[in-house]
């Protein structure tokens, strides 16, 4: 595996007696997409702002490309394109002028890829931002983040105010960034988005990292649910005893890992009236920590 691009070691942020972030340890490699999950107040935005060097950590440290995110913040941020959760844009500019202005701050002059991506995002980038809706402004901000080919993209709730079609387009753009070797770290409330693109998922609760989920491992599992019209089976597809909650109330509910034919053979022998087999998904894991 490649050397980490981003590293956080015991990253902690206190506001007086309130601990907003508690001992975060994480690494992100080039070409890896990592999702941050948790409700409001779980520490997602604090984590991102600390990693960007906008907040001075109370303890611990973070580095991007070997640069300390606080002590060498300018050098670290040169490697990052960042979309904040709350936008503050120059409303007197057009979308094109804003993207060009931000590019020149990096010492770059955006090329024809601006118009190509603007078309995919369905933006008229020659309109003044003051004449745009919040959703259109967010797409302009995404354009400014996606155009630079920096090593790391950090997005805080990037799909807020986007319609479903544009959400899908953004996820495709993140997949493209991964294919180019860029790393992506983004926070979201929407489990389906995280499931679609992430290699790993970090679950935060009250500022603490409570779970790290490898998505390749999760995608191997299947959630099986069925309505039974006869006696519930005592053992599962692999011969193991089924817990009582898996066969409660005339229903079957279990998670299966393995090849599909043995599962189907086992189900064919059960008194099944209705059946659903789907990817395991993040929902059970998320609810374990957040109800």
Each residue's pLDDT expressed in tens, for the chain with a length of 291 residues: 568 999 999 999 999 999 999 999 999 999 999 999 999 889 999 999 999 999 999 999 999 999 999 999 999 999 999 999 888 889 899 999 999 999 998 888 888 899 999 999 999 999 999 999 988 999 999 999 999 989 999 999 998 888 899 999 999 999 999 999 999 999 988 888 999 999 999 999 999 999 999 998 888 888 899 999 989 899 999 888 988 888 888 899 888 888 889 999 999 999 999 999 888 888 888 888 987
212 and 225 share one domain: no
| Distance, CA of 291 to CA of 289 (rounded, Å) | 6
227 and 239 share one domain: yes
64 and 201 share one domain: yes
Q: Is residue 1 part of a domain?
A: no
190 and 241 share one domain: no
Q: Is residue 174 part of a domain?
A: yes
| Distance, CA of 29 to CA of 18 (rounded, Å) | 31
Q: Is residue 116 part of a domain?
A: yes
Q: Which of 83, 116, 110, 84 is nearest to 97 (CA)?
A: 110
Q: Is residue 175 part of a domain?
A: yes
- How many angstroms from the chain centroid is the CA of residue 253? 28
Tally of CA atoms within 13 A in the half-sphere of 18 that contains its CB: 7
Dihedral sign from CA coordinates of 68, 70, 72, 74: positive
Helices (H) and strands (E) in the chain, counts: 10, 13
Q: Which of 217, 242, 266 delimits the end of a domain?
A: 217
230 and 109 share one domain: no
pLDDT at 1: 55
Q: Which of 186, 217, 248 delimits the end of a domain?
A: 217
Q: Which of 217, 242, 269 delimits the end of a domain?
A: 217
Q: Is residue 150 part of a domain?
A: yes
233 and 260 share one domain: yes
35 and 145 share one domain: yes
207 and 244 share one domain: no
pLDDT at 106: 86
Q: Are strands 251-257 and 272-279 parallel, antiparallel or unpaired?
A: unpaired
29 and 17 share one domain: yes
DSSP 89-135: --TTSBHHHHHHHHHHHTT----THHHHHHHHHT--TTSBGGGS-HH
Q: Is residue 99 part of a domain?
A: yes
156 and 56 share one domain: yes
- Taking the C-alpha atoms of 49, 54, 57 and 58 in order, what is their torsion angle to the nearest 10 degrees? -110
Coil/strand/helix, residue 244: helix
The CATH number for 107's domain is 3.40.50.300
Domain that holds residue 80: 6-217
- Integer CA distances (angstroms), 239 to 136, 226, 266, in order: 55, 18, 10
DSSP 125-138: TTSBGGGS-HHHHH
Q: Is residue 161 part of a domain?
A: yes
CB 202 within 8 A of CB 25: no
249 and 204 share one domain: no
Q: How many distinct structural domains can be found in the chain?
A: 2
Q: Is residue 155 part of a domain?
A: yes
Strands (DSSP E) found in the chain: 6-15, 18-28, 33-37, 59-64, 67-68, 80-83, 152-156, 183-188, 200-205, 208-214, 221-228, 251-257, 272-279
Record the tokens describing residue 80, joined without a space: 């990052």
163 and 240 share one domain: no
| Distance, CA of 152 to CA of 85 (rounded, Å) | 17
């Amino acid at each position: 595996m490649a050397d980490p691009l981003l590293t956080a070691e015991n990253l902690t942020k206190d506001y007086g007696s309130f601990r907003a972030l508690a001992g975060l340890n994480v690494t992100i490699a080039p070409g890896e997409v990592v999702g941050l999950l948790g409700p409001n107040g779980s520490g997602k935005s604090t984590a991102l702002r600390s990693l960007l060097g906008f907040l001075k950590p109370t303890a611990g440290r973070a580095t991007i490309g070997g640069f300390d995110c606080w002590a060498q913040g300018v050098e670290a941020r040169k490697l990052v394109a960042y979309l904040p959760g709350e936008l503050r844009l120059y409303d007197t500019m057009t979308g094109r002028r804003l993207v060009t202005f931000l590019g020149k701050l990096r010492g770059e002059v955006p090329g024809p890829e601006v118009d190509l991506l603007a078309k995919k995002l369905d933006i008229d980038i020659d309109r003044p931002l003051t004449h745009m809706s919040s959703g259109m402004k967010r797409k302009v901000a995404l354009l400014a983040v996606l155009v630079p080919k920096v090593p790391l993209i950090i997005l805080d709730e990037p799909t807020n105010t986007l319609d479903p079609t544009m959400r899908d387009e953004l996820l495709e753009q993140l997949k493209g960034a991964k294919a180019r070797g860029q790393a992506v770290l983004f926070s979201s409330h929407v489990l389906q988005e995280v499931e679609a693109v992430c290699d790993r998922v970090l679950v935060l609760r009250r500022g603490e990292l409570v779970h790290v989920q490898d998505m390749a491992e999760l995608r191997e599992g299947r959630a099986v649910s069925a309505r039974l019209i006869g006696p519930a089976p005592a053992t599962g597809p692999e011969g193991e005893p089924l817990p009582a909650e898996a066969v409660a109330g005339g229903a079957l509910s279990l998670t299966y890992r393995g090849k599909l034919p043995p599962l189907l053979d086992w189900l064919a022998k059960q008194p099944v009236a209705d059946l659903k087999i789907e990817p395991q998904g993040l929902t059970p894991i998320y609810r374990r920590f957040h109800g």
